[in-house]
Structure 1
Amino acid sequence: MVRPISIVRYERLYLASFVLGLIVSAMSWSQRTALVAANPVLAQVGWILPAFQVAGIAITLLLWYFTARSPSVAAKWVVAVLAALSIVGVGLSLASAARGQTTIGTISIVSFAADALYVAAALLLFRADARRWFGELPDPDEPDTFEEMSHDR
C-alpha cells in the first residue's frame, strides 16, 4: 500500500520531535547526571541513565516503525497516549513556572517545541487516510469481498 499523505507528514513531524528530544537530552545531560549522583541509591548504578536513554530511543524508533512503515493500531494508540501525557506535562511545567517554582529557559522551550511537534504528529494519525492505513476504515479503491445475496435463497 502506498503511504498516505497524513502518514508521510506524521513521519516528518515525529522524527523532527525525536531529534529535538535528543537535543534536549544532550542539553540537560549534566543536570540529570548530577541528580542521579546526588541520590545515594542511584549513584551506585551509574549505568541507569544511559540505559534509560537507549531504551527511550529504542521505544521511540519502534513506535515510528510500527506507525509510519508497518501499520499497527496498538502503536498508534501508544503514540496517542504519549501525546496526551505530553500535553499534561507541558501544562504542569507551565503551571509550575507560573507559581515561580521553576523558570522557563532554553531547554524548556526546545522541549515544548518537541512536544508540540509530537502532538501535531499524533493528531495526523486520526485523519481518514491514516485510519485506512491502519485498517480501521475500508479502502474505497478495493472491491467488496462479499457478494450480495437475497434472503430468499
Structure 2
Amino acid sequence: MTGRPTALNAAVSAQMSRMPRSRTKPEMSVRRELHRRGLRFRANHPGLPGRPDIAFTRARLAVFVDGCFWHLCPEHAVLPKNNATWWREKLERNVLRDREKDEALTALGWTVLHFWEHEDPVAVADVVEQLWRERCRSGTTAWAVG
C-alpha cells in the first residue's frame, strides 16, 4: 500500500472525519475511574508520539483506549462491504500507525498499554493502576515529559 487511500464517496468521508478522535465514551470512562482512584495524568498529551489518551508522565506510562472498528479488534472488527478494499487499507494503516507510535514511545523510555473500547473500565483501571504503582515504587520513573 502506498500513501493514503482515497475515499470513493466524499459524503461518507466527510462524515467519518467528524468522528471524535479523543474524549470518546470508553476513554472518558477509564479516565473517570483513574481519577476517582486519585491517579493524575495528562490527557491526549500533544508532546508525545500518537498523543496518548492517558499519559502518566512521571511513570512514563502511555495508555490508549482503541476503538474496535478503527483499530481492527480481533473480537469485534467487521470490515464494511461497500468499498472494502479502501476500508481494509485504511484500517490496516491505522494498525501500522499504532505500532509506529508504540515504537517511538518505547524508544523514549515509555511503557505503552492498549485496551479495547469494549473492555470494562474498572478492569482497565486496575491494570493501569497496578503498573503505575509498580513503576513509581521501583524508581523506574522519569520526571521529564517526552
Bigger share in strand: 2
Larger radius of gyration: 1
Name the TM-score, length of structure 2 as normaliser. 0.35
Q: Which has the higher contact order (CA 8 A, sep 6+)?
A: 1
